[in-house]
């Protein structure tokens, strides 16, 4: 669902695909609970223990799915503090597995992969290591100490492989998140440096002109008062223009997220009589990509307002891709070459610095199309 306001379509709520459909992964894994089910169906334990086993199995499955969804949506685990309540759910999983042992026997070890994954992805690194080691030792003890335990040797292989897979995958995920944060910090630092250069150049140029004009006015104030007044008026206009430009530069830098820039661009375009349509959600891009995309969208919005004479514009956001299109008069070769020295060149440099490909050209029907692809 989207809400349209000021000519801009915005998502009613920003929700990632992982938030929406992450629970499916937890449900798919439920197929491996077929082994405890088979054990309960074949169990010769007392009816009370069999009933207890069925109840424990159902509770285990429900708690596992709930805990998986809460962990993925809450952002806990994998280097971050667990979501509140995850430790309690973890304890419930262990209790349910233990209550299944009298009715299921060694096949109750089939619960261990679920418990290991829950600890690896939803709790702490210490919990991952302790749970993995204990699971391997428990499975090995059952195989080598129980009569006929060698028939469950394949389960030991599965538990050991899962421990290795969980260790490697969680390490990669944590390193990827750290790299993402470093990339965002680097992009933010580069943006601040660019802002400092822009403000320095703007203020330096303006102050130089103001100094020259003030010196000229001082020399003319006695010999040519009228011309001196003209120079003073020019100084007033120049300082006002420089102050407004500096404020605009700083204000533009505050919209560092793509969501904020989409809202700002929608308002600016609406004021210029241009309707903006947004397809996709800002969270389709990573935080570092969002920062670069917001800068390029800001410049593209300015170009639409200044040069396109467009009535409609469209922004499409998808994983690793940003497209801005308008239905204006577009750019011919001469205009493109002239504009390349300023706004377009700036967008191209921003994209290159972020490791993205930048393209600008005619849209499918009319107008201009700007695309950034990582």
**Sequence ranges of the domains in the chain:** 17-181, 255-374
User: Which range has the worst mean pLDDT, 4-18, 221-235, 251-265, 356-370?
Assistant: 4-18
Name the token pair of 272: 């210029």
Domain 255-374: CATH class, spelled out: alpha beta
Beta-bridge partner residues of 325 = 314, 369
Tell me what the mean pLDDT of segment 262-290 comes to: 85
Tell me what the mean pLDDT of segment 141-170 comes to: 79
Residue with tokens 């203020």: 203
Name the token pair of 287: 């935080």
- The CA distance from 175 to 180, in Å, is 9
Whole-model pTM over 0.85? no
Residue with tokens 């989409």: 262
3 against 317, higher pLDDT: 317
Does residue 104 register a pLDDT over 50?
Answer: yes
- Residue ranges of alpha helices (H) inside the chain are 17-21, 23-28, 34-42, 47-74, 86-104, 112-122, 125-145, 153-223, 225-254, 258-271, 287-303, 333-339, 343-353
Percentage of residues of the chain with pLDDT beyond 70: 75
pLDDT of residue 12: 37
Non-local (6+) Cβ contacts of 350 within 8 A are 292, 295, 296
């Amino acid at each position: 669902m989207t809400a349209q306001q000021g000519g801009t379509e915005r998502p009613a709520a920003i929700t990632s695909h992982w938030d929406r459909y992450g629970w499916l992964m937890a449900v798919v894994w439920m197929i491996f609970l077929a082994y405890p089910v088979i054990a309960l169906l074949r169990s010769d334990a007392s009816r009370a223990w069999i009933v207890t086993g069925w109840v424990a199995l159902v509770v285990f499955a429900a708690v596992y799915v709930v805990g998986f969804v809460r962990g993925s949506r809450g952002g806990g685990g994998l280097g971050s503090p667990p979501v509140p309540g995850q430790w309690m759910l973890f304890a419930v999983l262990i209790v349910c597995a233990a209550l299944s042992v009298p009715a299921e026997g060694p096949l109750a070890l089939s619960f261990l992969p679920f418990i290991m994954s829950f600890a690896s992805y939803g709790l702490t690194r210490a919990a991952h290591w302790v749970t993995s080691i204990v699971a391997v030792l428990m499975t090995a003890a059952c195989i080598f100490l129980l009569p006929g335990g060698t028939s469950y040797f394949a389960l030991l292989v599965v538990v050991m492989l899962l421990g290795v897979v969980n260790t490697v995958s969680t390490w990669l995920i944590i390193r990827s998140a750290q790299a993402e944060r470093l990339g965002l910090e680097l992009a933010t630092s580069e943006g601040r440096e660019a802002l400092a250069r822009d403000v320095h150049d703007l203020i330096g140029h303006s102050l130089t002109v103001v100094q020259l004009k003030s010196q000229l006015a001082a020399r003319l104030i006695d010999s040519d008062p009228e011309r001196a007044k003209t120079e003073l008026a020019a100084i007033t206009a120049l300082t006002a223009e420089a102050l407004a430009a500096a404020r605009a530069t700083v204000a533009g830098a505050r919209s560092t997220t793509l969501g904020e820039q989409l809202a700002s661009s929608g308002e600016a375009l609406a004021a210029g009589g241009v309707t903006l349509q947004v397809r996709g959600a800002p969270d389709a891009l990573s935080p570092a990509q969002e920062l670069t995309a917001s800068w390029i969208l800001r410049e593209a919005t300015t170009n639409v307002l200044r040069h396109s004479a467009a009535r409609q514009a469209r922004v499409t956001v998808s994983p690793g891709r940003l497209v801005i299109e308008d239905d204006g008069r577009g750019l011919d070769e001469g205009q493109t070459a002239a504009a390349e020295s300023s706004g377009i060149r700036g967008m191209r440099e921003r994209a290159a610095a972020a490791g993205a490909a930048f393209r600008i050209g005619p849209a499918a029907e009319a107008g201009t199309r700007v695309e950034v692809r990582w």
